[in-house]
Structure 1
């Protein structure tokens, strides 16, 4: 079973996970890193977050699939 169930989006500049944003934020609004002040459009930050999630989840999924396959074929390969 994949263990990661929550991934926080990190600032591309400093890695911090808290951002300042307008009240009614939209995709084309800019958000600002609370730590370093880096500004990025929300839509772009979402893309960054998706890539960061892939970097964590894909290796976990591969490892889990390998475990499942080894278990499924245990004793059948000679």
Structure 2
């Protein structure tokens, strides 16, 4: 099986889609390549990725924590 690769235009599109909030898997599906293809290219190009588990900010995480402890 031939190894997949992203060309320059696909990489630009992958970055744009990822910045809109799509997951790496969703970006890969849109571009017709594998998750690993996108992930490895992001690593190679030193493109920052969001933390695992969602695309919320640290401040939102703190709000979630303080809200859940206030409910208890």
Asked if these proteins are the same fold (TM beyond 0.5), I'd say: no
When Rg is computed on C-alpha atoms for both structures, the one with the higher figure is 1
TM-score if structure 2 supplies the norm length?
0.31
Structure with the largest fraction of helix? 2
TM-score if structure 1 supplies the norm length?
0.30
Structure with the largest fraction of strand? 1
